[in-house]
A = this chain, B = another copy of it.
Amino acid sequence: MTPSLAKLGHVALNTPNVEKSRWFFREVIGLDETAEIDGTVYLRAWGEFEHHSLSLTEGPTGIDHFGWRACRAEDVGAFAEQLRANGTAVEEIEGDTEAGQGYAIRFVTPSGHPFEIYHEIEHPDAPEELRSRLKSNVSTARRRGASPRRLDHINVAARDVPSGQAWLEEQLGFRLREFISAGSRGMVSAWSAVTSQVHDLALTRDLQGDDGTIHHFAYLFDSREDVMLGADVLREAGVPIELGPGMHGIARSMFCYLRDPGSNHRVELYAGGYHVFDPDWKAIEWTAAEIEAALIWWGPEYTPGKGHPFDQTTPCLAGPLSSV
């Protein structure tokens, strides 16, 4: 049976200032801590039953890995075998290396992004005083900060989008949903998913020409109003908004971008999007002429490639890619 991915599980963040990042993700974004082990802080949102969707570890700014949960326990080993057969170096990680998590594998994609695949993960109850009477919520919502429902997607960048995207589709089963094609340069941005979401991962041409970079990761809110109330939280907390709130044409989603002041990583407050259940979905193409409406359906002015800070990406890994 072909192994398959169920979902984006978590982002493992390295930050030079764990305390500041912890303040930011706890007090401003509104996540709850589930564990702190060996200096790594684990957090999740009120709609997340699994152990964590974010971990903070001290280190130079970077992404240790993006964790993808496999559908079945046996898929983890099957992915390892398949990836090695296709020439990808795979590292095996014993259970409990990451809190609450079982056996996992790690590897770097050809576009330079550090991925982890795992299946086993604990589903801890919330402490009694935080538990929700609404049984599909792990804990009560809107106690603190912006208060998203759950981790939603990542947006990463590389030099060569078409080949990076082809690899994601062939090796990991991503399905293309929307893309921007820039004339003779071909596909410059691709939105694809392993779930029914319009995207779990966006791969975009890195404007600095780098591989293995990240643009942002996003937490999902239930409504556009929630994103706006989140923007108020940011203003009151003195956390600058980098872009937004506004509305993307692509993914038909509301956005608000900001930086974790501890790590300088970009985070998106996100709402909307849509789900694709059609098995023969025809990927939506936006041409260079349509790029403005694709990126900003309404909201702030932004044109890529004009030097806006929003064009900047951050390397996921500090060292050479092969060192993972």
List A residues at the B interface (Cβ < 8 Å): 6-7, 47, 49-50, 69, 71-72, 119, 123, 132-137, 140-142, 149, 178, 195-198, 222-225, 228-229, 231-236, 238, 241, 244-247, 249, 251-252, 256, 272, 274-275, 277-279, 281-282, 284, 286, 293, 297-301
- Among B72, B225, B231, B284, point to the contact of A298 (Cβ < 8 A): B231
Residues in B with CB closer than 8 Å to A71 are 279
- Bound together, the chains give a CA A224 to CA B221 distance in angstroms of 13
Q: Closest B-chain residue to A120, C-beta based?
A: B280
Residues in B with CB closer than 8 Å to A245 are 246, 298-299
- Among B178, B222, B293, B300, point to the contact of A235 (Cβ < 8 A): B293
Q: What's the minimum C-beta distance from A233 to chain B, rounded to whole angstroms?
A: 8
Residues in B with CB closer than 8 Å to A252 are 134, 136-137
Q: Closest B-chain residue to A285, C-beta based?
A: B135
Residues in B with CB closer than 8 Å to A196 are 195-196, 275
Given A137-B252, A247-B228, A299-B244, CB of A279 within 8 Å of CB of B6: yes
B72/A279 in contact, CB under 8 A: yes
B133/A6 in contact, CB under 8 A: no
- Among B135, B228, B251, point to the contact of A286 (Cβ < 8 A): B135
- Bound together, the chains give a CA A142 to CA B123 distance in angstroms of 30
A298/B235 in contact, CB under 8 A: yes
Q: What's the minimum C-beta distance from A44 to chain B, rounded to whole angstroms?
A: 13
B247/A278 in contact, CB under 8 A: no
With A49-B278, A197-B275 already in contact, 18 other A-B pairs whose C-beta atoms are closer than 8 Å = A7-B277, A49-B281, A50-B278, A69-B279, A72-B279, A119-B279, A123-B282, A133-B235, A133-B236, A134-B293, A135-B249, A136-B198, A136-B251, A142-B232, A196-B196, A222-B272, A246-B300, A299-B299
- Bound together, the chains give a CA A249 to CA B232 distance in angstroms of 10
Residues in B with CB closer than 8 Å to A197 are 275
Q: Closest B-chain residue to A253, C-beta based?
A: B136
